[in-house]
Amino acid sequence: MYPFHWVPAAGQRHASTDRRPEGALAYPSGTSVATLCREQVIADNSEIGWLWPTCDSCNTEAHRIARELPTTTTARSN
């Protein structure tokens, strides 16, 4: 599992390492979230929000983080 989560906000899909509310699979709409591109945005967890383009800066940083993780951290069990 990766230490970041994707969140639609401000017209793009951003990534964040902020904790999500207990039991939530996504940041609820209206939640203030700090992103990997160093923006503070308000989550828009709407259907259309998930179709927005990905923030280039968040995507670059998310890939950097994923590459640096040990393989066992992201491995899925069968």
pLDDT exceeds 50 at position 78: no
pTM for the structure as a whole: 0.86
pLDDT exceeds 90 at position 71: no
Q: Residue 51 falls within a domain, yes or no?
A: yes
User: How do residues 55-68 score in pLDDT, each as one tens digit?
Assistant: 999 999 999 999 99
Q: Residue 75 falls within a domain, yes or no?
A: no
- Split at pLDDT 50, 70, 90, the class of 1 is confident
Tokens linked to 11: 């017209």
What backbone torsions phi and psi does residue 35 show, to the nearest 5 degrees? -105, 170
Range of the domain at 31: 5-68
Tokens linked to 74: 């992201």
As to burial, measured by CB atoms within 10 angstroms (0-12 exposed, 13-18 middle, 19+ buried), residue 39 is middle
Query: What is the pLDDT averaged over residues 3-18?
Result: 97
Q: How many whole angstroms separate alpha carbon 55 and alpha carbon 35?
A: 10
Q: Residue 9 falls within a domain, yes or no?
A: yes
pLDDT exceeds 70 at position 51: yes
As for how many domains the chain has, the answer is 1
CA atoms within 13 A on the CB side of 12: 15
